[in-house]
Structure 1
Amino acid sequence: MITEPEEITLKAKAIMLIQKTFTCAKNREELEQLLTQANNVIELSSGCCTLIVGDSGSGKTTLLKKFKDKFNEQHACTTSDNNSVQACYIRSPSNMSPLDLYRAILKGFGEPGLIDGTEVQLRNRIAKQMQTKRYRVLLFDEFQQVVEKVGIKSVRQIADYLKELVDEFNVYLVFAGTSKVENLLFINEQFASRNALTIKKSLLSVSTKKNYRTYVSYLRTLNGKIGFTNIDFTDPQINLPLFATTHGDLRQLTQTLSKAILFAANRNRDEMLKSDLVSTYTPKLIKGRLQVNPYTQKFIILKKELGVNYEV
């Protein structure tokens, strides 16, 4: 008996949006670059590192987590000899002290509770964990916090330690953060020589006609994969107000669309309307004044505020 495929609800599409945001961005190509570098490290037993730099909301964290999942999926142990290797995601500490990075690494490795010990003890525990759990890829997110919040001497010390990890364990280290992360390379030339790849992430933009077309294509592709609306995203009366609320930030764009989709779903509709975007718009406080709703603002004024001086 042939059964009809179950229809995806609008609420489920709001949840799917996060996954599809990844597939519509440049992340797929960048993911392949990361996997290639990681596999080269495994096959050649020669460690190296990569930087992922960009503004907040440009997709760095999403790329890191997708890379971790894909790498671990590819290298999952399928035999009884337990010969698998794995990647670990590490959130860099926000309150930095010389030992905080080592504690963050151990926390990423899954150590429970309060992590105490001297520098030597923490380093020994990291080495033991890497050997027993066979970590070959370490992914450091928000790493600019490490570079920014300690002095040059401490950053150099950290870079020396990371260089030792690369050389001793033949690991692939990935550092994601703002452009300040690149200071890590300037401080230690030997560490810089181990940098195999730098990925530059950027926000979506409408500063030029080419950028505008890329932005519109992104919206259309996103909707094409999920089908959450019949809105014409090529209409500047739709896409420019949406840009004004998100400023090219992928995270904000996902949140804005998801909120509007859920709003429509909770009213028992099967698609998102422009009115849902209007209804769920939340004005931001800019220089002490609430932002004007871009969906109701005069279009010519909106264009001028966004710097769109070309025909759309």
Structure 2
Amino acid sequence: MNNNAINFNRIAHSLGRKFLTYDSIKADFDALMDDSENVLLTATGKCAIIAGDTGTGKTMMATKFVDRYNELSVDKQRGFKSIEAHGKMTPCARFVNAPSNMNRLDLLRNILAALGEPGIPSGSEKEMRQRVDTQIRNENVKVLVFDEFQQVLEKVSNKSARHIADFLKNLMDEHGIFMIFCGTERTTEILEHNEQFASRCTRVILKRHFSLANKTNYAVFRGFLYTMQMRHEISGIRLADPENALAIYAATNGDLRKISWLLLNACKHACSTNSSSIRKIDFSETYVPPTNPKLKSTKYKNGNVTVVKIDKHLQLSNPFKTNLKSLKEALGVKYEVQH
């Protein structure tokens, strides 16, 4: 294996491992860890919400949170002789996948599966609720993280949604646990289905794609690219230079997941050609035009105002072969971009 291949493997691995070192992502993550610690200290149930567009890092943040929390909890458990005597150290945070085809009992089944119940959980609603209570108590669970939680709210009636919200609120109160709900912005509707949820919500983190709407947004995006390149120790062209930054935005529409994938493929191409640094041709040769060029609009609340966001997929043959002036025109960037 040559040095380039080793370098590529390091970068591929660090894309996930160093995810939490990116500015606002790190700040949000640290805030969630502080909230969970406060819940543990006070034994008072609380919740938080991570909501936003697909590809903004919500699930990655939630997964990393569960991993980090469990690492810390295992270290603490090692300090208790009673735990060592029993020879059992259990993860205190559990990750719950929201069911895609939701009915009233599916969420209970998924919670029980996340709590370690073997097989396919079954039984009446009352029976499964009792088993959830028992499992949380027996397994010393302190955190439940729900992913794609909007699916729960989308698939059931308002009455059932209120029923679910009441159940989750009671779990929080009875066991003094911390819950995190991840999903699209519809996830925030859980706060409306039980009026006491709002008072128990420590924070709502809204994650959105990067934007070039103004010079400040552009500076944030360039700062992210600069941090990404430095954190992963990638030599070669400077990703934050205007022509490169705008080309990357044109190829990904500011989607964090797509940016990581784009970088990964470019690094892989560089290694396959025995280059020790990343070049613009590595991006150009691996660029794949969007398969769905249709305009897509999303709505979200900004205070009392409903904002409609339209994602524009550029009709460029290859942004990495396009000059800076044309990129600015295609992206609608009317302000001055500087190195």
Q: TM-score, normalised by structure 1?
A: 0.92
- Measure the CA separation in 2 of the matches of 1:188 and 1:278: 51
- Measure the CA separation in 1 of the matches of 2:332 and 2:186: 28
User: Which residue number in structure 2 is paired with residue 101 of structure 1?
Assistant: 107
User: Which residue number in structure 2 is paired with residue 174 of structure 1?
Assistant: 180
Q: CA deviation at 1:223?
A: 1.0
Q: CA deviation at 1:85?
A: 6.7
Higher relative contact order (CA 8 A, sep 6+): 1
User: Which residue number in structure 2 is paired with residue 64 of structure 1?
Assistant: 62
- Measure the CA separation in 2 of the matches of 1:107 and 1:277: 42
| Structure 1 residue ranges without an equivalent (≥5) | 1-6
User: Which residue number in structure 2 is paired with residue 4 of structure 1?
Assistant: none
1:272-311 equivalence runs, <5 A: 272-285=278-291, 286-287=293-294, 292-311=317-336
Residues 1:147 and 2:153 aligned together? yes
Q: CA deviation at 1:296?
A: 2.0
User: Which residue number in structure 2 is paired with residue 255 of structure 1?
Assistant: 261
Amino acid at match of 1:213: A
- Count of aligned positions: 306
SS in structure 1 of the partner of residue 277 of structure 2: coil
CA offset digits 1:72-109 (Å, max 9, x no partner): 12221112322877111111111111111111111222
Amino acid at match of 1:50: A
User: Which residue number in structure 1 is paired with residue 81 of structure 2?
Assistant: 80
Picking from 14, 24, 27, the partner of 1:26 is 24
Residues 1:226 and 2:232 aligned together? yes
Q: Is the 8 A contact 2:95 2:147 kept in 1?
A: yes
TM superposition outliers: structure 1 runs of 4+ over 4 Å = 288-291
1:126-137 equivalence runs, <5 A: 126-137=132-143
- Measure the CA separation in 1 of the matches of 2:323 and 2:271: 29
Across the aligned residues of Structure 1 and Structure 2, the Cα RMSD in angstroms comes to: 2.0
Q: CA deviation at 1:290?
A: 7.0
SS in structure 2 of the partner of residue 212 of structure 1: helix
- Measure the CA separation in 2 of the matches of 1:113 and 1:262: 40
Question: Cα 1:249–1:66, aligned 2, differ >3 Å: closer, same or farther?
Answer: same
- Measure the CA separation in 1 of the matches of 2:265 and 2:126: 48
Picking from 34, 44, 47, the partner of 2:45 is 47
Q: CA deviation at 1:179?
A: 1.1
Question: Cα 1:223–1:51, aligned 2, differ >3 Å: closer, same or farther?
Answer: same
| Structure 2 residue ranges without an equivalent (≥5) | 84-88, 296-313
Q: TM-score, normalised by structure 2?
A: 0.85
SS in structure 1 of the partner of residue 144 of structure 2: strand
- Measure the CA separation in 2 of the matches of 1:170 and 1:24: 31
Residues 1:200 and 2:198 aligned together? no
- Measure the CA separation in 1 of the matches of 2:141 and 2:276: 45
Q: Is the 8 A contact 1:99 1:119 kept in 2?
A: yes
SS in structure 1 of the partner of residue 204 of structure 2: strand
CA offset digits 1:169-220 (Å, max 9, x no partner): 1111111111111111112112222212211222222211111111111111
Deviates more, 1:297-306 or 1:153-162: 297-306
User: Which residue number in structure 2 is paired with residue 112 of structure 1?
Assistant: 118
Deviates more, 1:49-58 or 1:10-19: 10-19
- Measure the CA separation in 2 of the matches of 1:61 and 1:103: 21
- Measure the CA separation in 2 of the matches of 1:130 and 1:204: 38
SS in structure 1 of the partner of residue 270 of structure 2: helix
Q: Is the 8 A contact 1:233 1:239 kept in 2?
A: yes
